[in-house]
Structure 1
Amino acid sequence: MTAIYDDALRPFGIVAPQFSLLVLIAEWAPISRSELGRRSRHDRSTLTRNLRPLIVQGWVAEGTPAGDGRSRPLSLTVEGDALLRRAASAWSSAQSHATHALGNESVDDLMNIARELALRAA
């Protein structure tokens, strides 16, 4: 299923996990890497691998270190916000494609499983 989303997002230079990070950063910014990892349930290496290209491309900015000298809050740049807005229609199209491929009942089942896993992890 991830391939459906990755294919839709390819013209924007991102993959599904990166799009998800852009959405989360937009929602929670400014947010530290560790907090983003906790909220997205990514381990440190996965988060770094998916976040690095977003920073290199100038879509996500790391702020100056906080009072502890370590935490560098993340936020979207103007370019990152524009990318997120442009890619949103591709994401919606991919969701429609995935729903059509799986069927509404299967999508509902998957969403229920995801909610249950999130509750267990909390």
Structure 2
Amino acid sequence: MLTAIYDEALRPFGVNASQFSLLVQIMEFGPLSRAALGRKNHHDRSTLTRNLQPLVAQGWVVEGMPGDDGRSRPLSLTKRGKALLHDAASAWSAAQSKAQSLLGAAGANALIDIAGELPERIS
């Protein structure tokens, strides 16, 4: 139900909640490899690829040149990706307010506490 609230709010921008979360993490921690992004977002490789492909296809995320290992290609936001984050921020905030009103302050705080205690990588 919570995901649906965020997905509905972000639909006009052409992204879903999982994709928006990836954009935020790339903005905050990028440039970073797919593996590092997957660890931060608790996504397995196939889920990450499925959510990342549309972001690259839309020109919101770009993969850089291979790193020292010759394999990893750092992900970063493009100018268009940064503009999308800026434009969709109010929709995300509205979804957060709606979710918090449904959960109540105690429920919302409990979810935040649980999320804060998750390990960086769940096997």
When normalised by structure 2's length, the TM-score is: 0.93
Instruction: Report the alpha carbon displacement of residue 67 of structure 1 after superposing the two structures with TM.
Output: 2.3
1:112 to 2:113 alignment? yes
Take 2:38 and 2:117, find their aligned partners in 1: how far apart are those partners?
A: 19
Take 2:120 and 2:31, find their aligned partners in 1: how far apart are those partners?
A: 25
Paired residues in the alignment total 121
Root mean square deviation, CA, Å: 1.4
Residues 4-30 of structure 1: CA distance to partner in whole angstroms, max 9, x if unpaired? 000000000000010000000001111
1:46 to 2:47 alignment? yes
- Where in structure 2 are there 5+ consecutive unaligned residues? none
Runs in 1 of length 4+ with deviation above 3 angstroms? 118-121
> 1:105 is matched by which residue type in structure 2?
A
> 2:94 is matched by which residue type in structure 1?
S
When normalised by structure 1's length, the TM-score is: 0.93
- Which residue in the other structure is 2:36 paired with? 35
Identity within the alignment, %: 64
Q: For 1:76-95, list aligned pairs within 5 A.
A: 76-95=77-96
- Which residue in the other structure is 1:21 paired with? 22
- Where in structure 1 are there 5+ consecutive unaligned residues? none
